[in-house]
Structure 1
Amino acid sequence: MNERIKGKTVAITGASGGLGMEIARQAAKSGANLILMARSFDKLEKLRDELIANYSIKASIYGLDVSKRGDIEDTFSKIEHEVGQIDVFVNNAGFGVFDSVLEMDLDEAEGMIETNVLGLITCTKLVLPGMVSRRSGHIINIASQAGKMATPKSSVYSATKHAVLGFTNSLRMEMHGKGVYVTSVNPGPIRTNFFNIADKEGTYIKNIDRLMIDPVKLAGRIVDAMMTGKREINAPGWMNAGSKIYGLFPRTFETLGRSQFNKK
């Protein structure tokens, strides 16, 4: 339970499944009111009804494709008029496709950039002025360990998450003294349907299944950090340690880890 968010409004993109859905459940358990956004409106309806029934909180839902700037602008305009202020905003929507540069589909690459980077930036840009004017708020960006340590077949996905981390770190400095917290979440592989799209052949899941992160536990850490000055949430610990070693000794790390990295 996080008493700091009781009665506050938490907005989440990509809330119809996976990590976003678990964040919504645990935020509702802490007494937060919710704004849930995703492309799958029918799934949002079921989640909204579940959360209202179980926790007696307020929950609003909006169909949203964060790859489309116009949709984001229209949705945020509706939220401002229909719900009001957002206290915590979780940029969770995103997807990845694992392919080598030689084999990648440029339309998929463009979609990843529009969703993972430009969509996240647009959402943040629209929600931030209200937080700054109130001198209170929290932006939480779901990045990835892939934003710290690139591996084969994830060139574009990794590039988008490097961009998210760069954006988040810069924003955190800009918000210093303005009352707005900024946190990046850098998970390794999470046990969600993310890999239904990312891992077309299913080989990556088979190779790392026992190492995958429980989304319920990660969501708990994220909700516990809401409205605090937590800089980063990294999971799992051993992978975050690996990314630090990679930053210090990239050539050695790439050479020694090549056989494992190519198991996607």
Structure 2
Amino acid sequence: MVHNRLVGKNIIITGASGGIGAEMARLSANYGANLVLLARNVEKLERLKEELEQGTGVQVIVKSLDVADTVAVRDVFNEVLSEIGHVDILVNNAGFGIFRHAHETNMEEIKFMFEVNVFGLMACTSMVLPSMRERGSGHIINIASQAGKIATPKSSVYSATKHAVLGYTNSLRLELKDAGIFVTAVNPGPIATNFFQIADEQGTYVKNVKRFMLQPEYVAKQVVERMMTRTREINLPRWMNAGSMIYALFPRVFERLGRRAFNQK
């Protein structure tokens, strides 16, 4: 059972100050895991730490970290490893997007999306892999997106970053197949979080897809219940993932028939 799998495990969650990051922290703490919560907003982390320690009694460490700063990633992870000894599970959850047409997206925004969504994820992973390999145990969980499978208008850069995450995750899984380390990609559709305050400035996308949005508690539950299991992918919702499978087989037909649905942003 998931309860037994997570008791006493050390879990690092990036982007843990809100949304599915905070919800995964709550569920993991309820199952008896010790937590290291990382995000830029340390005040939110401190409030979450107080809530979890009072409610569950598990150990919670919080540290401010911008994963786009790879030097800071190295320093913070070295601090964490010296404090807790080893990491059982890393959840690379930090990420953001901006929905704009390709010609309207400036290079600063493009670089920053890649620094957070891709380079930061890789930097965090590289900090825990050596000890996981040495111990022959661990789990890397990368929060990607259905946008990494189906690219749509106004998400060219965001989709590119998530395609990169999926490519990295798939390769990593093959590398670690015989090392005792699980690697999971999580590909959710739109989730009702503050992600869209930045991504969807005009609110058009949220208005159009609100009835299809996933709740962060649901997504977090699907992830936490599969921690320390050999799960290749978690695709949510299932009907959207079915679309990505059809897209892979019949891309031209899918793009033609789905054109109206794609232009929701």
Q: Report the equivalent of 1:117.
A: 118
Aligned-partner residue type, residue 24 of structure 1: A
Question: How many residues of Structure 1 are paired with residues of Structure 2 in the alignment?
Answer: 264
Q: Which has the higher mean CA deviation after the structures are superposed, 105-114 or 13-22?
A: 105-114
Structure 1 position 213 matched with structure 2 position 240? no
Q: Report the equivalent of 2:81.
A: 80
Q: Report the equivalent of 1:58.
A: 59
Distance in 2 between residues matched to 1:195 and 1:156, nearest whole Å = 15
User: Structure 2: which 5+ runs fail to align?
Assistant: none
Q: Report the equivalent of 1:150.
A: 151
Q: Report the equivalent of 2:46.
A: 45
Distance in 2 between residues matched to 1:168 and 1:44, nearest whole Å = 27
The secondary structure found in structure 2 opposite 1:2 is helix
Aligned-partner residue type, residue 54 of structure 1: G
Distance in 2 between residues matched to 1:183 and 1:80, nearest whole Å = 22
Alpha-carbon distance, 1:8 to partner = 0.6
Q: Report the equivalent of 1:242.
A: 243
Q: Which has the higher mean CA deviation after the structures are superposed, 161-170 or 73-82?
A: 73-82
Do the aligned residues in 2 keep the contact of 1:2 with 1:223 (CA within 8 Å)? Answer: no
Q: Report the equivalent of 2:259.
A: 258
Structure 1 position 139 matched with structure 2 position 125? no
Distance in 2 between residues matched to 1:81 and 1:263, nearest whole Å = 47
Structure 1 position 26 matched with structure 2 position 33? no
Alpha-carbon distance, 1:102 to partner = 1.2
Distance in 2 between residues matched to 1:205 and 1:107, nearest whole Å = 25
Alpha-carbon distance, 1:83 to partner = 2.1
Aligned-partner residue type, residue 29 of structure 1: N
Aligned-partner residue type, residue 216 of structure 2: P
Distance in 2 between residues matched to 1:124 and 1:239, nearest whole Å = 28
Q: Report the equivalent of 2:108.
A: 107
Q: CA RMSD in A?
A: 0.7
Distance in 1 between residues matched to 2:48 and 2:116, nearest whole Å = 23
Alpha-carbon distance, 1:259 to partner = 1.4
Q: Report the equivalent of 1:190.
A: 191
Alpha-carbon distance, 1:262 to partner = 1.1
Distance in 2 between residues matched to 1:28 and 1:80, nearest whole Å = 19
Percent of aligned pairs with the same amino acid: 56
**Runs of at least 4 residues off by over 4 Å:** none
Aligned-partner residue type, residue 171 of structure 1: L
Distance in 2 between residues matched to 1:218 and 1:101, nearest whole Å = 29
Distance in 2 between residues matched to 1:242 and 1:133, nearest whole Å = 40
Alpha-carbon distance, 1:2 to partner = 2.9
* TM-score, with structure 2 as normaliser: 0.98
Distance in 1 between residues matched to 2:75 and 2:103, nearest whole Å = 37
The secondary structure found in structure 2 opposite 1:102 is helix
User: Structure 1: which 5+ runs fail to align?
Assistant: none
